[in-house]
Amino acid sequence: MGRSSHLTVCAFPVTRREIRVTVASPHALQMTPRNHGGTSAHLSLHIKRSPQFDQDIPKFPTYQSYRKRPTILRKMATLPTTPFTLKGGCFCSAIRYTISVPELSSRPIIPKMPANPNIQLIGPQNEFNARLPIISLDHCTSCRRIGGSIIESWIIFPGSWAQFELQRRPSDDPDLSKLTLLDETKLENPITPPTIDVLTGKVELLETTNLRHFSSSKDVSRVFCGKCGTHLTFKYTGPVAGIAKLAKEAGMKWEPHFDIAVGTLDKESLEMEGFRPSVHAWYTDGIEWVQKLLKDGGKAFEI
C-alpha cells in the first residue's frame, strides 16, 4: 500500500537497547539494534505494508531469539521460608491430613544426586527447592496405573510433618457400601493415629475406619480410601535406599519420609504461591506424548 505504520508489540524494559524491525514485505525483515542514551527502551516494530500483508502475516522474530531473556523474567515464585501448612484428603473426606512445613532452615537438605536419565530437573534450582519437600512428576508405570491418571505427582517430606484424621466407620455400613460426602471441617470424633500406623495400614485402623492398604510391590506400602477409592500415599518400607541412602552417606540427618499424592491436596494448597514440581522422576518409564506435551505445550501436537 506504500505507507508505513508504527506498532508497539511489547513493553518490557530492555537495557540501553531498542530493536527496530523494518518490514518491506510479509517475508522480508531487517532488524537494526540501536544504542539508546537512556536506561530503558521498548521493543517496537516499524511495518511497511505490502499488498498481501493482511492475508499472509509473517512470523516475526521473537525478542528471545535476539537477546537472552533478562534474569528478572526467569525468576519464579518459591514456597514460603516461614512455616506453612498444606491440607488435603480423599474425595469423600473420610480421610483428611495436614502437612505442617517448618521454617526453611529446619527443612532437611536434599543430597546431590548423580546424573541419572530417570531424574530430570524442572525449572531453576535454588536454595528453596534444595530442601524438602520435593514436589515431583512421577512417570513410573505403577504409579500411573494405580492413580488412574496419565501421570502421577507426589509431595515428599518427613513423616513427622503429617497428621491424619480418619472418620470412624458407621456400624451400619460395615462393607462401605454407602458413599456420603463429608464436610472436612466437621468430622465427628475423628481418629488421629500416628502417621506410621496410617502408612502401613495398622489392622485396628482398617477395622474401624475407611482406610485401606495394599503392597504394590516388595517393600512398598500404599493406602487409599475404601469408601471413595482415592489413592493417597506411597511409603517405602525396605532397607535404606535411593535419596535417603544418599543423605545417609553424606552424613545428613534424615528421618523416615513418605509421599502424598499431590492431586489430593485442597485447591487452596495447590494454588499457594511457589507450589510447583521441581523434578521428573522415573522419566524413562514415561509416555512419550505426555513428555512432549509437558516440554512443548500445544506445539507437541502440531503436524
Phi-psi region of 38 (alpha: psi -120 to 50; beta: other; left: phi over 0): beta
| Greatest Cα-to-Cα distance within the chain, rounded to the nearest angstrom | 85
Please report the sign of the dihedral spanned by the C-alpha atoms of residue 129, residue 132, residue 136, residue 140.
positive
Quick check: 237 pLDDT over 50? yes
Quick check: 251 pLDDT over 70? yes
- The pLDDT value recorded for residue 187 is 79
Q: How confident is the prediction for the chain on average, in pLDDT?
A: 79
Q: How confident is the model at residue 85 (pLDDT cuts 50, 70, 90)?
A: very high
- To the question of pTM greater than 0.85 for the whole model, the response is no
Domain boundary assignment for the chain: 4-74, 84-301
| Among the ranges given (9-23, 74-88, 107-121), the one the predictor scored with the smallest mean pLDDT | 9-23
- The pLDDT value recorded for residue 266 is 97
Residue 269 three-state SS: helix
Report d(CA 138, CA 160) in Å as an integer: 23
Q: Which CATH class is domain 84-301?
A: mainly beta
Q: How confident is the model at residue 182 (pLDDT cuts 50, 70, 90)?
A: low
* Ramachandran angles phi, psi of 199, nearest 5°: -65, -30
Residue 157 three-state SS: strand
Quick check: 14 pLDDT over 80? no
Give the three cell numbers for residue 201. Answer: 495400614
Return the percentage of the chain with pLDDT > 70, whole number. Answer: 70
Find where cell 536434599 sits. 110
Residue 234 three-state SS: strand
| Among the ranges given (12-21, 129-138, 141-150, 262-271), the one the predictor scored with the smallest mean pLDDT | 12-21
CA distances to 93, 94, 144, 165, 180 from 90, in Å: 5, 7, 18, 11, 12
Give the three cell numbers for residue 140. Answer: 513410573
Quick check: 181 pLDDT over 60? yes
